[in-house]
């Protein structure tokens, strides 16, 4: 079970903390797709009023993790195989754009950071932790593009499918192949070859999309 022990916070910080805790619980599978998240129960669980509980649920709604239904309230969102395929099509378009814009701005410090993340990921076998490191790696690849709105959109799409990525990682032997692909992408970035890097990134994301949609259709 997720540990919801927290310091006493007020205002926006409280709703952000609740959203972070609920997000983690959804990604870990504690809350399943289609499961209700009643505002009163969320407030009671965290020992807060309804206002920060609702603000937290609205934040998760904006991320695509929660859906509000008339007369039902908040429910953990479910994604179909077709919806996951659509999200990955969007990710490929946006993330290859970000990578192309980022490569000319990459510094030695960026490559040190990326090399370090790959090394850590080599030894990580926990699916949830590896998924978080995977996002850190991709975020570090794109950050030098200096396009904050684009990066926000990419992060939202990633968050929307991350719980399915975790399920996928626990269902198939994906680790070695993903790491090989990460190194190919990084090598192309280091050489300043934006076309090759973008092409390899599209293949990397496309492969994950195909395997994940097959998994969801079972």
pTM of the model: 0.77
- Specify whether the CB–CB gap between 98 and 139 falls below 8 A: no
* Alpha carbons 218 and 210: distance in angstroms, whole number: 13
**Across 19-23, 65-69, 112-116, 155-159, which has the greatest mean pLDDT?**
112-116
**Across 50-59, 124-133, 142-151, which has the greatest mean pLDDT?**
142-151
Q: Which residues pair with 67 in a beta bridge?
A: 75
73-76/66-69 β-pairing: antiparallel
Domains within the chain, CATH numbers bracketed: 9-74 (1.10.10.10), 79-215 (1.20.120.530)
Strands (E), the chain: 66-69, 73-76
**Is the per-residue pLDDT at 3 higher than 70?**
no
Averaged pLDDT score across all residues of the chain = 87
């Amino acid at each position: 079970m997720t540990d919801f022990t927290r310091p006493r916070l007020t205002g926006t910080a409280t709703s952000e903390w609740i959203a972070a805790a609920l997000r983690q619980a959804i990604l870990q599978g504690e809350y399943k797709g289609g499961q209700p998240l009643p505002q009163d129960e969320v407030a009671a669980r965290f020992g807060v009023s309804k206002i920060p509980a609702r603000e937290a649920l609205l934040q998760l709604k904006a991320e695509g993790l929660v859906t509000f239904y008339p007369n039902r309230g908040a429910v953990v969102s479910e994604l179909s195989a077709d919806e996951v395929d659509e999200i990955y099509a969007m990710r490929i378009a946006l993330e290859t754009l970000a990578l192309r814009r980022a490569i000319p701005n990459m510094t030695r410090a960026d490559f040190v950071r990326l090399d370090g993340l790959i090394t850590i990921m080599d030894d990580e076998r926990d699916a949830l932790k590896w998924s978080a490191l995977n996002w850190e790696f991709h975020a570090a690849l794109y950050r030098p593009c200096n396009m904050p709105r684009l990066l926000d959109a990419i992060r939202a799409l990633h968050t929307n499918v991350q719980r399915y990525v975790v399920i996928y990682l626990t269902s198939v032997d994906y680790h070695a192949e993903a790491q090989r692909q990460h190194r190919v992408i990084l090598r192309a970035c280091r050489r300043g070859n934006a076309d090759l890097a973008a092409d390899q990134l599209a293949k990397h994301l496309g492969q994950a999309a195909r395997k994940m949609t097959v998994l969801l259709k079972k």
